[in-house]
Structure 1
Amino acid sequence: MTGLRLVVFDVDGTLVDSQDHIHGAMEHAFAATGHALPSRADILSIVGLSLPEAMARLVPHLPAVAQADLVEAYKGSFGRMRADRLSPMFDGMADLITRLSAEPETLLGVATGKSRRGLTHVLAGHGLQDHFITTQVADDHPSKPHPSMLLAALAETGVPARDAVMIGDTTFDIQMGRMAGYHTIGVSWGYHQATALAEAGAGRVVDTAGALADAIDEIWETV
């Protein structure tokens, strides 16, 4: 291929392991509002969605006002946990980001269900804030799997979808990527099973950061 190419990453479950923060904040939110806590598996299954959409899927039996109360309680608890301890990056991902960002033809982006404030905290905490040219967050878009985030990334960078890849750990990421016309790679170390990622249409599913690097290179060799 010639010209620029765009690599877009999800954050929670793809770049950073935030499951303890997410589950802990959910525990606090449900305890504070007096509702029964869903299972850990159910909680992790909605990671990646914008928070109101995630809560609506997690507790559809509760009225909208109760869901809104849970959202606010979660935000407060997660913010306090985030201030106390930074979610760790998955093995090899910081090195991969650094390597890709050094390639003149490669532009990096983020598409996440996090808020702008949350994303800034994570990227700055890990010293990665200067590596991403486009950052799409839940504040500005419909929830995944709507393709709005990825279409905005294409518009900001001028890269066509055929030269872009979406990398994520959930079926929401894969569905979003496919709807936007991107290549897609699923990572198995996050919150959805590898089989679910494949069934959602992921072009590839990988188990390590090294395999992810190889999969990205293989895509560029075929376009």
Structure 2
Amino acid sequence: MTASARPLAVFDIDGTLVDSRASIHRAACEAARDLGLPRPDYDRVRKIVGLTLEHALAELEPDLGPADLARFIAGFRASFARMHEEGLQEPLYPEAMAALRRLHRDGWRLALATGQNRRGVARNLAREGWADLFISSHCAEDGPGKPDPAMLHAAMAACDACPATTLMIGDTAHDARMAVNAGVLPLGVAWGFHTVEEQRAAGARHVAETFSELTVVLDGFADLTRAA
């Protein structure tokens, strides 16, 4: 496969590669408690994952004024900091690393596009083997967050790719909308934060139930890219 024909897979992190469901819900609950707010249930929290933190928490508690929203954001960040100081490392989903290594071996270009901040991205890139897999990483601190296409435009520029050779793999409607806005193929996974129906409604062309199913779809995309 020539360099120009090598496809680019841009992966979300939370809910796609890394199982952060428990830690994100815990951080939201602890931040709400510290502010005297009711404990948000998981279904409310899962819907805002993937957005920039400021946008996400404003959606979670839309009645907060600017000062209380700032305290809510600070409390969320402090909760995550405590968890990681205590040694938390959210686990990878089973088969995630094997799938990434296979794609890399098969000549795919790989990048990350996440709603995490740069510190969170650095923490994930410190996982064994990750720094060797991804050409570039893009997060909400770099510019507009999802569903704005800025992160995907930056990933394509960094990886010398174009929309026709690029796809976005995520677990939320925000990922799918970002892909649609960037003109790249939106693919979803069923094991993260948003439902299959939510992702399809946002434009996901396929939502994989397993990593094995996802790699079959990616192999088909690579074949089409190679033949173009």
The two structures have a TM-score, normalised by structure 2, of: 0.93
Stretches of structure 1 that go unaligned for 5 or more consecutive residues are: none
Q: Distance in 2 between matches of 1:93 and 1:58?
A: 29
Confirm whether residue 85 of structure 1 aligns to residue 85 of structure 2.
Answer: no
Out of 34, 56, 59, the position equivalent to 1:57 is 59
Q: Distance in 1 between matches of 2:123 and 2:221?
A: 31
Would the aligned equivalents of 2:139 and 2:145 in 1 still touch at CA under 8 Å?
no
Secondary structure, in 3 states, of the residue corresponding to 2:10?
strand
Confirm whether residue 111 of structure 1 aligns to residue 113 of structure 2.
Answer: yes
Out of 164, 167, 179, the position equivalent to 2:166 is 164
Q: Distance in 2 between matches of 1:185 and 1:143?
A: 18
The sequence identity of aligned pairs, in percent, is 37
1:194 is matched with: 196
Count of aligned residue pairs for this structure pair: 222
1:95 is matched with: 98
Write out aligned runs for 1:110-189 (5 A): 110-189=112-191
The alpha-carbon deviation at position 126 of structure 1 amounts to 4.3
The alpha-carbon deviation at position 125 of structure 1 amounts to 2.8
Displaced runs of 4 or more, over 2 A: 220-223
CA RMSD of aligned residues (A): 1.3
The two structures have a TM-score, normalised by structure 1, of: 0.95
Would the aligned equivalents of 2:15 and 2:192 in 1 still touch at CA under 8 Å?
yes
Q: Distance in 1 between matches of 2:145 and 2:216?
A: 30
Paired amino acid for 1:4? R
Stretches of structure 2 that go unaligned for 5 or more consecutive residues are: none
Write the deviation string for residues 15-35 of structure 1: whole angstroms up to 9, x where unpaired.
000011111111111111212
The alpha-carbon deviation at position 198 of structure 1 amounts to 1.2
Would the aligned equivalents of 1:187 and 1:207 in 2 still touch at CA under 8 Å?
yes
Q: Distance in 1 between matches of 2:131 and 2:76?
A: 25
